[in-house]
Amino acid sequence: MNQRIIYPTDDGGVAVIVPAPECGLTIEEIAAKDVPAGKPYKIVDVSDIPTDRTFRAAWEYA
C-alpha cells in the first residue's frame, strides 16, 4: 500500500501506521482497527511522509 495513516500522539508528536500489504484489509479498515479509540487520524500518501528521520521526534500532526 502506498498510503499511511497518521494520528497525534499524547506527547504532541505523530504516529504513523504502516499497513501490512498482505493483511487483506483496506486502509480504512486498518485505520478503524489500529488507530487508538478517540484519536483523529488522516490517511495520507506515502510520499507525504518525510524520508529523513533525523528529527523524527519533532514531527507534528497537522
Partner 1 sequence: MTLVLNGTTGVSSVDGSASTPAIQGTDSNTGVFFPAADTVAIATGGSERLRADSSGNVGIGTGSPQAKLNSVSTGAALGGTAQFAVGSSSNDYENTYFRIDNSGNSNFCIDQKLSGVFYNRVLIERTTGNFKFDSGYGSVATAYGCRAWVNFNGTGVVAIRASGNVTSITDNGVGDYTVNFTTAMPDANYCAALSGGEGTAGSGGRVPASSGATTTTLRIQVRNLDNAAADGTDVLVAIFR
Report the alpha-carbon angle 31-33-39, nearest 5.
60
Smallest gap from residue 9 Cβ to partner 1 (A): 7
Rounded to an integer, what distance in angstroms lies between the CA atom of residue 33 and that of residue 28? 9
Task: Decide whether 42 or 49 has the Cβ nearer to partner 1.
Answer: 49
Grid cell 480504512 is found at 28
- Positions touching partner 1 (CB under 8 A) are 5, 9, 13, 15-23, 25, 30, 33-34, 46, 49, 51, 53, 56-57
Task: Decide whether 57 or 62 has the Cβ nearer to partner 1.
Answer: 57
